[in-house]
């Protein structure tokens, strides 16, 4: 690289569940950080996967496989959000294989720099406070999802237990509940104590705010007062903690500072500087009403007012866009219409550009659903189709099904238009066990947008799949209908086609007061051909004549095999010499010796005004009669020739 050229840094950021406040704070802090530079591009790979448990859900983590880490300069992992150990182990392997620096936030990963909170001392501080300031001697500890000997949940439990040991809290006075970081698990812990008939503890120490808030709800539902009957503490200081009644005592972790530290350390590491392998960012303990301390609600109320106002204004815009989007999408039987609506109302995702990429394999279902049946596929394709673009003007590829560009997985960091975005948030789109593609947002969601974004993303998935199925059904029905009205041997219409399409031509001519033309064709001596040469040759004769008829008429004329060796043409082309065209092509066929027999046809050609005729069958009968007269005339001439030869 020329020394005068600016170096651009491509960073991968991996997290789970943008629906959580800590992720929103992290992503907004990340956006603020890179906005101060013009040479850092970050691509975030995310999923609503924080609480995934079953093996059937694990494929949602496939979004982490999307980027080829070798094509990036470094990776940041918000590891405390990824609950599946196998997903973290897989990331450890890939970072090692790529040979790039890695930073892990909130959970230790092999080979990665750790940045986070001193969880051990944080919980130690809050537990010590409950014992020394409020006299708590019995506890319920709400555990998080622990890893084997490391991680946030492990350090928090160990900090709690060491303080209890230090102050002589008996083991029999400590209860545990294995939670999974969610508020519902805090509620379950309280109801389990009640069902087992055990007394409530003096205090509940929760490994995070969510479970603590759930426990507070269950306590109130069962007539317990907080903190008079039970003191409750959490950790994280999420927004809901400031709104609880009483206000939750908790540990405030400065995630903005954590992200800033992480990016500063990462950029220093990329440039070859020595950096520490473990960094703790300071925390703040908020002692409040839920543990029995006095509350200072002034700042919380001011913050609440600001958030409520911003939220209410945003919701007005959101519901307006939601109504517009759903009106255009619900019932749409063409996925292209859905994609156009996404482009029209892209700002429902809050701002910035929005890109919708579809797996090439899934995209093929739109084009040929009968050739590409949908099968369970949890993996991304090697290439993707940019099928929708909101917020910027791009040109569709010629003769495509709503495609702007084809992009390979290898080119994601540099492919247009992603190459022009400094912040790209990737989210997988999947229907059941089929990976459809991914959505890309170019600005981080605000906290109050989280659930809304997830709802719209899921709505788009169901709409696209519903549209695909409708289009597939429509194409299949058209194919079945074609088989129903088409002769299997010649490819021309059959009598069902005559009843449907022939009548349409007749009624159209009748409405306009115009004539139509019906031609009835019959192969001469067809029985003799089958008897002497066999039905295979007979079929070849039928197909050859069908091709001649088709090529001698216009595309919108009705050409049909009426039955056996009889054919019918229905056309508005009343002046053309169709009979002459057919005869010339028969002469070419007969002179080519392609068939072992000569093919001759008798044709009845009837043209008449439709105003005084009530039925198409009248035309058909007249044409049939004229064909028969021609055939009899030929037969009579043949007999006369034979008689003359015998004299």
Domain edge (last residue) among 253, 271, 289: 253
Give residue-wise pLDDT tens across range 354-411.
999 999 888 887 766 555 445 556 778 889 999 999 998 999 998 888 899 999 998 9
Give residue-wise pLDDT tens across range 144-154.
888 766 678 89
Predicted local confidence at residue 160, as pLDDT: 97
Average pLDDT, the chain: 86
**d(C-alpha 306, C-alpha 298), whole Å:** 13
Which has more confidence, 214 or 326?
214
User: Is residue 463 in a domain?
Assistant: no
User: Is residue 596 in a domain?
Assistant: yes
Domain edge (last residue) among 253, 270, 288: 253
| Count of domains for the chain | 2
The pairing of strands 9-14 and 40-45 is: parallel
What is the mean pLDDT of the segment spanning 603-624? 90
What is the mean pLDDT of the segment spanning 106-126? 92
User: Is residue 620 in a domain?
Assistant: yes
Q: How far is CA 492 from CA 483, 539, 553, 559, 590, in A?
A: 10, 14, 12, 6, 22
Which has more confidence, 116 or 205?
205
User: Is residue 455 in a domain?
Assistant: no
Predicted local confidence at residue 3, as pLDDT: 46
What is the mean pLDDT of the segment spanning 110-117? 91
Predicted local confidence at residue 52, as pLDDT: 45
User: Is residue 404 in a domain?
Assistant: no
Long-range pairs of 216-223 with CB within 8 A, sequence gap ≥ 24: 216/186, 216/244, 216/248, 216/290, 217/183, 217/186, 217/187, 218/186, 218/187, 218/189, 218/190, 218/191, 219/190, 222/190, 222/194
What is the mean pLDDT of the segment spanning 274-302? 84
CATH number for position 244: 3.40.50.2300
Contact 434, 376 (CB under 8 A): yes
User: Is residue 423 in a domain?
Assistant: no
Domain that holds residue 218: 117-253
User: Is residue 292 in a domain?
Assistant: no
CATH number for position 499: 3.30.70.270
Predicted local confidence at residue 315, as pLDDT: 67
User: Is residue 460 in a domain?
Assistant: no
**d(C-alpha 301, C-alpha 447), whole Å:** 17
Give residue-wise pLDDT tens across range 404-438.
999 999 898 889 999 999 999 998 888 877 888 99
Q: How far is CA 607 from CA 157, 483, 549, 610, 620, in A?
A: 95, 30, 18, 9, 10
């Amino acid at each position: 690289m020329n020394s005068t050229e600016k170096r651009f840094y491509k960073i991968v950021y991996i997290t789970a569940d943008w629906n959580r406040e800590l992720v929103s704070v992290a992503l907004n802090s990340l956006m603020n950080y890179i906005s101060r530079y013009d040479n850092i591009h970050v691509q975030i790979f995310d999923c609503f996967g924080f609480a995934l448990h079953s093996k059937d859900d694990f494929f949602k983590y496939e979004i982490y496989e999307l980027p080829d880490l070798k094509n990036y300069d470094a990776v940041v992992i918000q590891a405390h959000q990824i609950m599946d150990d196998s997903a973290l182990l897989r990331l450890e392997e890939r970072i090692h294989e790529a040979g790039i620096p890695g930073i892990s936030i909130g959970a230790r990963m092999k080979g990665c720099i750790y940045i986070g909170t001193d969880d051990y001392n944080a919980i130690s501080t809050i537990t010590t406070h409950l014992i020394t300031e409020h006299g708590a001697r019995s506890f319920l500890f709400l555990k998080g999802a622990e890893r084997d000997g490391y991680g946030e949940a492990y350090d928090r439990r160990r900090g709690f237990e060491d303080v209890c040991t230090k102050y002589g809290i008996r083991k029999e006075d400590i209860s545990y509940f294995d939670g999974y970081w969610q508020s519902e698990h805090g509620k379950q812990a309280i109801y389990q104590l009640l069902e087992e008939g055990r007394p409530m503890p003096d205090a509940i120490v929760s490994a995070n705010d969510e479970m603590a808030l759930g426990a507070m709800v269950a306590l109130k539902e069962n007539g317990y007062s907080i903190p008079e009957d039970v003191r409750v503490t959490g950790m994280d200081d999420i927004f809901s903690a400031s709104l609880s009644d009483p206000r939750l005592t908790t540990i405030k972790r400065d995630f903005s500072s954590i992200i800033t530290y992480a990016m500063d350390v990462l950029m220093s590491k990329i440039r070859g500087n020595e950096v520490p392998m473990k960094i703790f960012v300071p925390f703040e303990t908020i002692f409040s009403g839920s543990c029995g301390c006095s509350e200072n609600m002034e700042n919380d109320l001011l913050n609440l007012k600001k958030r409520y106002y911003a939220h209410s204004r945003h919701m007005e815009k959101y519901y307006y866009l939601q109504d517009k989007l759903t009106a255009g999408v619900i019932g749409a039987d063409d996925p292209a219409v859905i994609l156009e609506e996404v482009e029209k109302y892209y700002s429902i995702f809050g701002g910035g550009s929005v890109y919708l990429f579809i797996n090439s394999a899934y995209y093929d279902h739109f084009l040929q659903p009968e050739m590409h049946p949908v099968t369970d596929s949890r993996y991304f394709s090697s290439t993707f189709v940019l099928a929708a673009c909101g917020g910027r003007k791009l040109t569709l590829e010629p003769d495509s099904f709503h495609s702007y560009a084809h992009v390979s997985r290898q080119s994601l960091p540099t492919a247009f238009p992603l190459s022009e975005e400094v912040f790209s948030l990737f989210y997988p789109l999947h229907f059941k066990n089929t990976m459809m593609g991914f959505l890309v947002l170019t600005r981080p969601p605000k906290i109050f947008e989280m659930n809304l974004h997830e709802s719209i993303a899921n709505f788009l998935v169901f709409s696209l799949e519903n549209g695909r199925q409708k289009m597939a059904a429509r194409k299949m029905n058209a194919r079945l209908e074609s088989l129903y009205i088409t002769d299997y041997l010649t490819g021309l219409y059959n009598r069902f086609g005559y009843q449907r399409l022939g009548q349409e031509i007749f009624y159209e001519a009748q409405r306009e007061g115009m004539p139509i033309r019906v031609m009835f064709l019959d192969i001469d001596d067809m029985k003799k051909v089958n008897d002497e040469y066999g039905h295979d040759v007979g079929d070849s004769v039928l197909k050859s004549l069908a091709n001649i008829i088709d090529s001698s008429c216009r595309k919108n004329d009705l050409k049909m095999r009426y039955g056996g060796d009889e054919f019918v043409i229905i056309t508005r082309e009343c002046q053309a010499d169709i009979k002459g065209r057919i005869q010339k092509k028969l002469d070419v066929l007969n002179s080519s010796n392609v068939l072992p027999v000569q093919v001759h046809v008798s044709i009845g050609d009837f043209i008449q005004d439709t105003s005084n005729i009530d039925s198409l069958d009248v035309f058909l009968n007249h044409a049939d009669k004229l064909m028969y007269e021609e055939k009899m005339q030929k037969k009579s001439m043949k007999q006369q020739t034979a008689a003359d030869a015998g004299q």
